[in-house]
Amino acid sequence: MNPVFPSSWLSLVLIFLTTSKGVSGATFTVTNKCGYTVWPGILSNAGSSPLESTGFELPSGGSRSFQAPPNWSGRFWGRTGCTFDPSTGQGSCSTGDCSTNQLECKGQNANPPATLAEFTVQSGGQDFYDVSLVDGYNLPMIVEPNGGSGSCMMTGCAADLNQQCPAELKVGSGDACKSACEAFGNPEYCCSGAYASPDTCKPSTYSEMFKAACPKSYSYAYDDATSTFTCSGADYFITFCPSVASQKSARDSSANAGTSSTNTSSGAEPGGFDSSWFSNILTGDSSCNNVSSSARLFALICSTMVVLFLRL
Ligand SMILES: *[C@@H]1O[C@H](CO)[C@@H](O)[C@H](O)[C@H]1NC(C)=O
Ligand SMILES: *[C@@H]1O[C@H](CO)[C@@H](O)[C@H](O)[C@H]1NC(C)=O
Ligand SMILES: *[C@@H]1O[C@H](CO)[C@@H](O)[C@H](O)[C@H]1NC(C)=O
């Protein structure tokens, strides 16, 4: 028998244990393809530990990865037009600012308008992710799962909505585009008061404008059915200003992140889940958390055996 068998087997087990999503949680890789610097902000939801950074500078072309703990939930966004004093570290951003007056956001949320990438990772179960324009838009952003099982579609808003923003929603000279809720505050735009349910809160001409430009993004609070995506056991790429070429090369041809010229009616159906899933998550109902852990274990054992076989 091969004398290295026990130790190589042990190291393989260790490798698989440490790379298994059920144990370690997802890796998020944030990439800036904009022609300008972006200062991403990261907010962990209540009950999730913060990632390694809560706010950092990402030059054009730059990329940075974060290992999330199991069952992490939270959001990523991009701040633009930031200036931080090199000596004091103090400063602010013209869009997406988090009001800390410094580089790190330290548990503070993005000030709208800001494009948001939202994640609920369920280690050993199904992750939910979306790109939301409910709090407005400040820059193009897409989310692409890497690996994982399930439908795992790319989502996001690749279009430049600052160009198409109606004057009454525009911030500055086109730095960002407010939601109608933020601009006007009416309950029917905000899905509040008498409009605080999926039955009463309907798309507005404004949210429809966002939806037409970015069909896979949340355009108003109850836009779940075409805006929430699922995948199990994946890592995630979050890209600011994705190029048109990279959208076209996406492995799933139906996963176009949405330019205004695209008919996504064939690809936009996340398929079969109840639009109350979000409240289920909030209330801890695990009916969506339905990926067999024995399937995961089987895959782990199989891949261990294959690698082991190849090495012997
Ligand atoms: C993650 O959440 C699932 C239930 O959704 C739970 O079974 C599991 O133990 C959690 N894992 C960790 C490491 O907290
Ligand atoms: C998209 O395609 C569907 C059918 O596949 C069609 O009914 C709809 O009119 C199309 N929309 C656009 C904008 O082309
Ligand atoms: C799991 O999903 C299947 C369909 O995919 C469904 O029939 C079953 O009821 C689900 N189980 C739970 C606990 O939700």
pLDDT higher than 50, residue 264: no
Distance (Å) from CA 273 to ligand 3 centroid: 10
**Residue among 263, 264, 266, 269 to mutate when testing ligand 2 (max atoms within 8 A of CB):** 263
Q: Across the strands, what pairs with 27?
A: 67
Distance (Å) from CA 263 to ligand 2 centroid: 6
Q: Which ligand is nearest to the CA of 262?
A: 2
Q: Where are the beta strands (DSSP E) in the chain?
A: 27-32, 39-44, 63-67, 73-79, 83-84, 91-92, 116-120, 127-132, 141-146, 155-157, 170-171, 176-177, 229-231, 235-240
**In this predicted model, what pLDDT tens digit does every residue of 208-263 receive, in sequence order?**
999 999 999 999 999 988 899 999 999 999 999 997 544 444 444 344 443 333 33
pLDDT higher than 80, residue 101: yes
**In this predicted model, what pLDDT tens digit does every residue of 55-97 receive, in sequence order?**
999 999 999 999 999 999 999 999 999 999 999 999 999 999 9
Q: Ligand 2, residue 264: give the atom nearest the CA.
A: 1
- Whether 100 contacts 108, CB under 8 Å: yes
User: What pLDDT shows up at residue 280?
Assistant: 36
Q: Mean per-residue pLDDT for 137-150?
A: 97
Q: Is 261 in the pocket of ligand 2 (CB under 6 A)?
A: no
Backbone angles phi, psi at 26, to 5 degrees: -85, 155
Q: Is 148 in the pocket of ligand 1 (CB under 6 A)?
A: no
Q: Which ligand is nearest to the CA of 72?
A: 1
pLDDT higher than 60, residue 159: yes
> Ligand 2, atom 4: nearest CA belongs to which residue?
265
Distance (Å) from CA 22 to ligand 1 centroid: 8
> Ligand 3, atom 1: nearest CA belongs to which residue?
290
Q: Please count the CA atoms within 13 angstroms of the CA of 220 that sit on its side-chain side.
A: 26
